[in-house]
Amino acid sequence: MSKVTLVLGDFEGAVEGDVIGVDYGALVCINKGLSIKLACGDFDSVTEAEYEQIKDYADETIRLKPEKDDTDFYFAYKQCDTYDEILVVGGLGRRRDHEYTNIITAIMDSRITIVDAQNRIKKYDAGRHSVNKNHYQYFSVMVIEPLTITLEGFKYPLYERSVQFGDTYLTSNEIIGETGIMTLEGGSALIIQSNEIKKR
């Protein structure tokens, strides 16, 4: 199973497989000592000196024009056709338009998982899925299209419940043990696993 991590900005945790540094994310990779298979973007978030450092460090660098049709992230995503899994880090919590574009792309492609210290976002297609709780307390289902859902091993179980886009009662469920079983029939859903922000 081939994996790639797209680094868009600062992040906590580990990367998986090959690494693509996207704009400022390439500098983050350098600071973390990560090998960069590809660095890409218009690099408007770094200085020229930092760009030269990135170009010398990465295996390959593609500099895009600032006036372009794709975001830096979407360009990087299009380089990932041969990978089975795409992990996206540093893609949440900054510009809302970019964050929304990242999530929309995840809705379009179930290979993508977007993670940060507080959230894990992934689309699941129709089928039976074993979902690990990991360190996340909450499990929310965002319905993309009408479907039937069954949840086993959850605080609020469901059995063959028909749901529609816009249903909000599927928010803030919890996996009881280490894994929960989710069965989707007739459609797909975006799953957001999350934690509360701890007050200091």
Architecture, CATH, for domain 123-194: Sandwich (2.60)
Domain boundaries in the chain? 3-116, 123-194
Q: How many C-beta atoms lie closer than 10 Å to residue 167's C-beta?
A: 15
Mean pLDDT rounded to a whole number for the chain: 94
Given pLDDT bands bounded at 50, 70 and 90, which one contains residue 200? low
In CATH, the number for domain 3-116 is: 3.40.50.10240
Structure tokens at 121: 């976002």
**pLDDT tens digits, one per residue of 1-56:** 899 999 999 998 899 999 999 999 999 999 999 999 999 999 999 999 999 999 99
Q: Is 72 exposed, middle or buried (0-12, 13-18, 19+ CB in 10 A)?
A: buried
Region of 61 please: left (phi>0), alpha (psi -120 to 50) or beta: beta
Given the DSSP bridges, would you call strands 138-143 and 189-194 parallel, antiparallel or unpaired?
A: antiparallel
Predicted pLDDT of residue 199 = 64
